[in-house]
Structure 1
Amino acid sequence: MSDDEQQQPAPRRGKILEALAQAERKVFTRPAPKSANAQVKFLLTRAKESARSLAERVGTSTRTIERYRAGKLKKPQKRLRAALVEATESEWQPQVRARAREQASTTSGMMVEVTAYFGFACTGSSDDGRERSITTAISPTYAKQILELQEAGATEKDLHPIVAEAITESYFTEWGTRAVGLRADFTHVSKVEFLF
């Protein structure tokens, strides 16, 4: 059995977590390394040249990491490729990402575009739940909560209620000016995109 066959599966992110990661990628001022060799070399600099810690992080063997560093291997299997891309993008341009997150958390907020099933709970509401496509701003307060939860390792299940609350505030209650007491939950998310 080769080292590549012993790989662990890459961690799978939910739609909200993936959308937040994509929003961060859009603020990069330079493209992240694309080839597996360049990604391994970059990640090794971030891991203080520890092939062992990088191997544990991406779910492969130390020997495989060393072979990519030396250029003996060039094309990783799908799981390793996904883990390398995710790890590289999470480490790439930390100051650029931090500035974008800080701005979203303090002044500009974020935009969200979502297609999901929205259900409502409100006294006297006649609007039945249904699938909607919504594009709306999220206030800096909610952006900060969402980004802090993401940073703390929140799961998709943890993020759903806060994103629903943010969309409810900005879209359905128009920042608290109408439909007081409305609560919208969203499920069956088919598409979600954030923009800093």
Structure 2
Amino acid sequence: MEPIISPIEPHTLAWEIEHLPGEALLVDAGKEQVFLVDGKQAPHVLGEIGRLREVTFRLAGEGTGKSIDLDEYDPHYFHLFIWNKADREIIGSYRMGMTDVILKKYGVKGLYTSDLFGYQRQLLDQIGPAMELGRAFVRPEYQRSYTPLMLLWKGIGQCIARQPQYRHLLGPVSINTNTTA
């Protein structure tokens, strides 16, 4: 198992977030803000998301074992994330892909879930424009509060409100093998 990369410096993250376009801000809840960025738009934010994913998933026995949890899909997906302004840290994130855009540019193989499910293009065309959600996490020290999940879902709601053509949400859910029914 590789050691996890060092945290991205808070001032570096803050600078990158402060320089995002105004429309990247989806929710302003005082101390916390929810942003949506393209995978190439904020490389330091994406790096910290990948680091925190690995930290969080390893603690649940689901990590990749790599130094950072980023894959070939991350650059062409959007990343919804919660920013704690006061503490200058990312609290949690969701990866989000607009299926119609991804299918046009990359085909079915461009969807993360195509590795998990045997999609036929006909099914995806029938569903129409959808948001593929996945790779969600809330960093461990925030998991005892409902606020991060509420903020992530408020952000998803804002994405839908701003882009009403996306009426369907799809994605995988991982359940730890230690979970009982």
TM-score, with structure 2 as normaliser: 0.23
Name the structure, 1 or 2, with higher relative contact order (CA <8 Å, separation 6+): 1
Larger Rg: 1
